[in-house]
Amino acid sequence: MKLQLAAKLDQQQILAPQMILSMDILHLNTVDLESRIEQEFMENPALELVEETAESSPPEQESPRDVEVQELFEVLNTYESRYGGEEPPRRRVAEEVGSKHEAMLNHEDRPET
């Protein structure tokens, strides 16, 4: 009597009924797909057809470039509101930080060596 241990690797692809149905739908052309959709609406009373109007359509989405340009304009507006005007930016920053920072700005620099 001979004892033997063996391992077997097997791979199978099993398609679920939903996968088979979706594959069938993907193979349909436009006319057949429209007729299939109408047939489903007739057979299933829970489904209802809602047609989009111009008012109910979703607003156009901004492209990433438009979003980036908008962000750059916001940064520019922030910079102009913070540092704009006739007053030098260094003075304006000093006022925001406080009198200690302004005292440091008014101090003489070290002499060059």
What tens digit of pLDDT does each residue of 84-98 get? 655 555 555 556 656
Q: Where is pLDDT greater, at 70 or 98? A: 70
Task: For residue 85, give the DSSP letter.
Answer: S
Tell me the mean pLDDT in the region 61-90: 77
What tens digit of pLDDT does each residue of 29-54 get? 999 999 998 998 899 888 887 877 76
pTM over 0.75: no
Number of Cβ within 10 Å of residue 30's Cβ equals: 7
Alpha helices in 1-113 (DSSP H): 17-26, 30-43, 64-83, 89-97, 99-106
